[in-house]
Amino acid sequence: MRRVFIGFAMKNKQSTKETALKGYARHDEGDSRYLHSTGRVKTDVFGVAVFLTLGFAFVELIGGLWGNSLALVSDAWHMITDSLSLFLALLANWIATKGADSDHSFGHARVEALAAFINALAMLGVVVWIFVQAAIRLTDPPQVQGGVVMGIASVGLLMNLAVIGSLSRDKKNMNTRAALLHVAGDLMGSVAAIVAGGLVYFAGPRFSVADPILSVFVGLLLLRATYSIFKESVPVLLDAVPEGVDYNAVGDALAQIPGVKEVHDLHVWMMAPGHSAISAHLHTDAEENWDAMLALARRTLSERFGIDHITLQPERRQKRSPNR
């Protein structure tokens, strides 16, 4: 009986904590529209993409080793990293939809940026491997089975088109749009492998050098995608000022609000991809209407800089008497 009572008390305490958290974290009228969670992607859309991409990546990898084609192996690694990217995006999205809790008052949206950063590191390692292997094969091009490479790459092209069709059903989500760009890179890799296999098959073994050359093209596609992922994820992880926002211009805009005498302790950062925040101290005169100033500041920051998660602290200063 005592255990039941203790269990009930702990459960009741936890429920009270969660209720208090919801009260503390709620947004009133005029506050940010961002609720510290992301929209859930369509699981079936990502599931189909992961299954098709990862499954055929191993087919390409085996076929590339069998056909002695670096272009096909490179495209296989490209597809493996992209399938892992899709899986991490799906997992991160599931976590990011949880919203704020007592341990994460800003929610879990940054998990998506962290997952993207980890994936980019893996992609960078693959790029280095592709370039090293291409350099070795350029000095001594091995014999490539053009027919095998061309056939497998052609099936891969059709598979990528199927994945693009699946992801296109959920284009409103940012993760899905990013995934579409990755799969488009896979599609170009398949085209490169088809060209490499076709040249060897129709023009003869002397064109085997086309295989490492086109694998470098696939590596460059991967490098471009890696750079774009780093560019999006690293600023979020470092609390950087949002791209396109001028920090000094934000301070100047706040300083020009009537009644504001000075702006200091100004911070502008990205809470999550697509969501920015600001905090600052504003020196004002004691008789100024803070509510009107705050409303103008919110409108200015939202319209000019796209910032809607706003925390401004007034520091009132009494005017000195002329006799003092």
- Gap between the Cα atoms of 136 and 120, Å rounded: 25
Going from the C-alpha of 221 to that of each of 45, 52, 210, 290, the distances in angstroms are 24, 20, 17, 53
What per-residue confidence (pLDDT) applies to 102? 63
Give residue 1's pLDDT. Answer: 44
Q: 255 in helix, strand or coil?
A: helix
Q: What is the pLDDT of residues 173-211, one digit of tens each?
A: 556 666 777 777 778 878 888 888 888 888 877 777 888
Report the predicted TM-score, pTM, of the whole model to 2 decimal places. Answer: 0.67
Work out the pLDDT band at 112, boundaries 50, 70, 90.
Answer: confident
Instruction: Write out pLDDT tens, residues 127-173.
Output: 888 888 888 888 877 777 888 888 888 888 888 888 887 777 665 55
SS3 5: helix
Q: How far apart are CA 249 and CA 204, in angstroms?
A: 62
* Strand bridging mode 260-272 / 275-285: antiparallel
pLDDT, greater one: 33 or 65: 65
With a cut of 50, say whether residue 244 has pLDDT above it.
yes
Average pLDDT, the chain: 76
Q: How confident is the model at residue 100 (pLDDT cuts 50, 70, 90)?
A: low
